[in-house]
């Protein structure tokens, strides 16, 4: 009686083997937000998964591959684990280039690490805050500068802290005092605090005052190393090389103004020349064709080039994959203000409209495909691995 059961089990097993196996679809990850180039992958020994973490989690607001490359290079030189987020990518206005640039600045954790590595760090007191102040902030932003924003923020007037260092066997204190209104970061070129400074005014100010005290206690090790929180909303007034040196900075004032004309050394009774947009216009009695005695000033090699800015605007907007990012880049570069008074002002609107149409078209195509997986556009390998 056992034999029939054995034959039945064998028959069932044969039927299962003969049944065709359905192929299971293999889901592929969408491509990285910013594609990595083979040179960066090879130089820093970064694979596809690590790059995805850097782009989407560590630096989700980075706009360019070069900015992430600078951050990786900085961390390697300082022997830091970049996946612990010791540095930040901060967009800043460069008065030399006449546009926004991405710069790399250390976070407060990196500044603390530098102090600890000396073996002379001796602790820190609790941060002291001044009286709370409630103030209303208002400004206009948006693509055309017609979007009104307003916030009411309660913030401490100042913060103070003392950092200690061992100096020749003595525990010496170094105190720093920082005012909130001189430090907070703004939304674009308005005077309105950004979301971080509005939501946690004490926490942001506490970070900045600690960084200031650490610089006082460890001047040789830190020098002018500013924290990323201190650099938000500032303007670079020198060459862009944030990973190598910290340039002098001032509070952001919008579009850079032309240089003032040279001082007039002529007699006081002569009427002052009229000035239009920073250039002195003087009436002269010289005959036509006569040459001025004063030579013309040499051309400024770093003068603002509207055509180059328009090209940069086009390249930046091409990185946007949705309208929210498109508007964010447009507001960050502030093309209407930068190109105001130039023949390229209308061209900037055309560039924006072209990329807006591009995004609309891609969204329609994606809806028609019905899936974000599959296809050659989802290749997630490095260029050098293909």
Secondary structure letter of residue 111 according to DSSP: H
216-247: pLDDT as tens digits: 999 999 988 888 888 887 777 765 544 333 33
Q: Tell me what pLDDT residue 363 has.
A: 80
d(CA 208, CA 184): 10
52-90: pLDDT as tens digits: 899 989 999 898 899 999 999 999 998 899 999 999 998
The CA-to-CA distance between both ends of the chain, in Å, stands at 62
Secondary structure letter of residue 298 according to DSSP: P
In the listed set 196, 225, 254, which residue is the last one of a domain according to the structure? 225
d(CA 370, CA 268): 77
Residue 121 belongs to some domain of the structure = yes
Q: Tell me what pLDDT residue 59 has.
A: 92
253-292: pLDDT as tens digits: 333 343 444 444 444 444 444 433 433 333 334 444 444 4
d(CA 273, CA 109): 54
Asked if 214 and 316 sit in the same domain, the reply is no
> What residues contact 287, with CB distance under 8 A and at least 6 apart?
none
pLDDT band at 162 (very low <50, low <70, confident <90, very high): very high
Q: Tell me what pLDDT residue 303 has.
A: 59
Residue 257 belongs to some domain of the structure = no
178 pLDDT higher than 90: yes
Q: What is the dihedral of CA 316, 322, 326, 327, to 10 degrees?
A: -160
Residue 328 belongs to some domain of the structure = yes
In the listed set 198, 225, 252, which residue is the last one of a domain according to the structure? 225
Q: Tell me what pLDDT residue 190 has.
A: 86
Residue 287 belongs to some domain of the structure = no
Neighbours of 188 (CB within 10 A): 20
Tell me which residue of 140, 71, 108 sits closest to 226, measured CA to CA. Answer: 108
Domain span including residue 362: 306-366
Residue 208 belongs to some domain of the structure = yes
DSSP string, 251-266: E--SSPPPPPPPPP-S
Q: Tell me what pLDDT residue 383 has.
A: 40
> What residues contact 327, with CB distance under 8 A and at least 6 apart?
142, 143
166 pLDDT higher than 50: yes
12-30: pLDDT as tens digits: 555 555 555 555 665 556 6
Q: Angle at CA 68, nearest 5°, toward 66 and 72?
A: 115
Say which range, 9-23, 172-186, 198-212, 300-314, has the weakest mean pLDDT: 9-23
Asked if 219 and 126 sit in the same domain, the reply is yes
Q: Tell me what pLDDT residue 364 has.
A: 81
39 pLDDT higher than 90: no
Residue 339 belongs to some domain of the structure = yes
Residue 265 belongs to some domain of the structure = no
Q: Tell me what pLDDT residue 238 has.
A: 60
In the listed set 162, 193, 225, which residue is the last one of a domain according to the structure? 225
Higher pLDDT, 31 or 182: 182
Number of domains, the chain: 2
334-354: pLDDT as tens digits: 777 777 767 777 788 888 888
> What residues contact 251, with CB distance under 8 A and at least 6 apart?
182, 233, 234, 235
Residue 81 belongs to some domain of the structure = no
């Amino acid at each position: 009686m056992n034999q029939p059961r054995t034959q039945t089990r064998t028959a069932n097993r044969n039927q299962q083997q003969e049944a065709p196996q359905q192929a299971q679809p293999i889901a592929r990850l969408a491509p990285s937000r910013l594609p990595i180039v083979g040179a960066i992958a090879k130089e820093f020994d970064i694979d596809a998964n690590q790059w995805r973490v850097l782009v989407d989690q560590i630096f989700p607001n980075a706009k360019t591959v070069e900015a992430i490359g600078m951050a990786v290079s900085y961390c390697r030189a300082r022997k830091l684990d970049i996946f612990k987020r010791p540095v930040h990518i901060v967009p800043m206005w460069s008065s030399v280039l006449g546009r926004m640039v991405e710069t790399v600045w250390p976070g407060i954790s990196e500044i603390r690490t530098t102090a600890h590595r000396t073996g002379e760090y001796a602790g820190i007191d609790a941060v002291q805050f001044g009286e709370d102040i409630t103030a209303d902030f208002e400004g206009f932003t948006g693509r055309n500068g017609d979007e009104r924003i307003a916030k009411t923020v309660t913030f401490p007037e100042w913060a103070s802290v003392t950092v200690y260092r061992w100096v020749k066997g003595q525990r010496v204190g170094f105190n720093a005092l920082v005012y909130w209104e001189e430090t907070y970061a703004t939304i674009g070129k308005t005077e309105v605090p950004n979301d971080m400074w509005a939501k946690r005014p004490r926490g942001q100010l506490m970070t900045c005052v600690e960084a200031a005290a650490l610089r006082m206690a460890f001047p040789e090790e830190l020098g002018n190393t500013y924290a990323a929180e201190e650099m938000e909303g500032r303007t670079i007034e020198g060459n862009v090389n944030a990973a190598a040196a910290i340039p002098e900075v001032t509070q952001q004032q919008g579009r850079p103004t032309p240089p003032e004309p040279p001082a007039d050394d002529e007699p006081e009774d002569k009427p002052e020349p009229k000035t239009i947009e920073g250039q002195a216009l003087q009436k002269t009695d010289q005959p036509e064709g006569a040459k001025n005695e004063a030579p013309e000033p040499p051309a400024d090699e770093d003068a603002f080039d509207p055509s180059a800015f328009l090209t940069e605007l086009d390249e930046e907007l091409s990185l946007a994959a949705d309208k929210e990012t498109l508007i964010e880049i447009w507001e960050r570069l502030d093309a209407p203000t930068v190109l105001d008074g130039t023949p390229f002002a209308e061209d900037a609107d055309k560039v924006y409209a072209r990329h807006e149409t591009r995004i609309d078209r891609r969204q329609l195509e994606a809806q028609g495909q019905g899936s974000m997986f599959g296809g050659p556009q989802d290749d997630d390998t490095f260029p050098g691995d293909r």
